[in-house]
Amino acid sequence: MTDYYSTADEIAESGCETAILPAGSTEQHGPHLPVCADTLLAAAIGERLAEKISAVLLPAIPYSTCREHMGKKGSVWMNADTFYRMMWDICESLEYQGYKRVILVQGHGGIFVMTPFIRDFNAKHGKIKIIRPEDNMRPYDWSGILESPPLHSCEMETSLMLYLSEKSVRKL
Ligand SMILES: [Zn+2]
């Protein structure tokens, strides 16, 4: 696996044609989880995925669109068109570098502009395919595993954070 701790030569020598880009958010996560939860989870999933398929892991994007959480201090958001343009530039640079596909690991469900971005980019750039694992997870039957449905700051998110960073979960 190569990642952002690799040198440019190591990344070139790896011959990897797939880049993994985690996208998180900095936003309130209730009284028990830190504001970095979505970014940390997206980065962790991206890291494991990169190991499994020998892809190049990019740094997780810590900001996206979370205006719905603006009432709570600690949330930081950007406008949807800014996020769209930023993603466009990142993916165009990856295409220029010779990557054949980008896998987006979306840690924050509220990045609604991601769907039109993926459609537009894939329609105009035949080379890069953007895949979003979250779409494959949604129809999964969580009954028997979770007592409550997956939502913001939910049982699933809290369980994953306990696994990845127990000290950051407040025991209320
Ligand atoms: Zn979250």
Q: Are the C-beta atoms of 121 and 88 separated by less than 8 Å? A: yes
Using the predicted structure, report yes or no on whether residue 148 has a pLDDT greater than 90: no
Expressed in angstroms and rounded, the spacing between residue 142 Cα and the centre of ligand 1 is 17
Range list of β-strands (E), the chain: 18-23, 56-57, 101-106, 129-131
Using the predicted structure, report yes or no on whether residue 149 has a pLDDT greater than 80: no
Expressed in angstroms and rounded, the spacing between residue 104 Cα and the centre of ligand 1 is 16
Percent of the chain predicted with pLDDT > 90: 76
How do residues 5-21 score in pLDDT, each as one tens digit?
999 999 999 999 999 99
Using the predicted structure, report yes or no on whether residue 134 has a pLDDT greater than 90: no
Measured at the CA of 22, the angle between CA 147 and CA 51, to 5 degrees, comes to: 90
Q: What pLDDT, on a 0 to 100 scale, did the predictor assign at position 19?
A: 97
Expressed in angstroms and rounded, the spacing between residue 108 Cα and the centre of ligand 1 is 6
Nearest C-alpha neighbor of 111 from the set 60, 146, 159: 60
Q: What pLDDT, on a 0 to 100 scale, did the predictor assign at position 138?
A: 62
Using the predicted structure, report yes or no on whether residue 139 has a pLDDT greater than 80: no
Distance CA 19, CA 130 (A): 10
Query: Quick one: average pLDDT of 142-156?
Result: 82
Nearest C-alpha neighbor of 99 from the set 161, 53, 55: 55
Expressed in angstroms and rounded, the spacing between residue 7 Cα and the centre of ligand 1 is 32
